[in-house]
Amino acid sequence: MLVVRDRGRLLAVDYGERRIGLAISDPMGIIASPAGFILRRAGKRPPVAELIRRATALEARGFVVGLPLDENGEDTLRATEVRHLAEELERRTGLRVELIDERYTTAAARRAIREMGGSTRHRRGDVDALAATILLQHALARQNQ
């Protein structure tokens, strides 16, 4: 008899300077799908409350947050900001937050859209959501090994 466990949905966060791309997994933790994006306002604090609202609405039981490391795998200024965001999400929700190296996810998202014959022009939010989806799919694949 095959027993299937509901692992719960994970919300992926691709934290950018202007937009935060989002992706959500299925309850089984197998498939990642784009879940939109959040616009950031320059000079404002991270929209933690909005991320929590989205996580609640999507019934997320955990977060996967992209960690923007430099080409040598070292922390950047934004990586430090993302680490603080992850700590705040964990503190305020009590949910597990996993940091995943996000190098090249945005480039992979742009390439995927171009390979399908699409244009990334005027679709930056879609690119960010797809980057979050790539990030989440990578995390799910690692988890399911």
Range of the domain at 48: 9-143
Higher pLDDT: 105 or 98? It is: 98
pLDDT of residue 3: 41
59: in domain: yes
Over residues 87-99, the mean pLDDT reads: 96
| Predicted TM-score of the model (pTM) | 0.85
- Find the CATH number of the domain harbouring 89: 3.30.420.140
For 18-67, the pLDDT digits (tens) are 899 999 999 998 999 999 999 998 778 889 999 999 999 999 999 999 99
Considering 67-76, 79-88, 100-109, the range whose residues carry the highest mean pLDDT is 79-88
CA 76 to CA 92: how far, in whole Å? 24
Whether 43 is in a domain gets the answer yes
Whether residue 38 lies inside any domain: the answer is: yes
| Model pLDDT, residue 6 | 52
Is residue 108's pLDDT more than 80? no
Show the 3-state SS of the chain: CCCCCCCCEEEEEEECCCEEEEEEECCCCCCEEEEEEEECCCCCCCCHHHHHHHHHHCCEEEEEEEECCCCCCCCCHHHHHHHHHHHHHHHHHCCEEEEEECCCHHHHHHHHHHHCCCCCCCCHHHHHHHHHHHHHHHHHHHHCC
Q: Establish if 105 belongs to a structural domain.
A: yes
Residue 15 lies in a domain: yes
In a domain, 137, yes or no: yes
What is the model's pLDDT at position 4?
Answer: 44
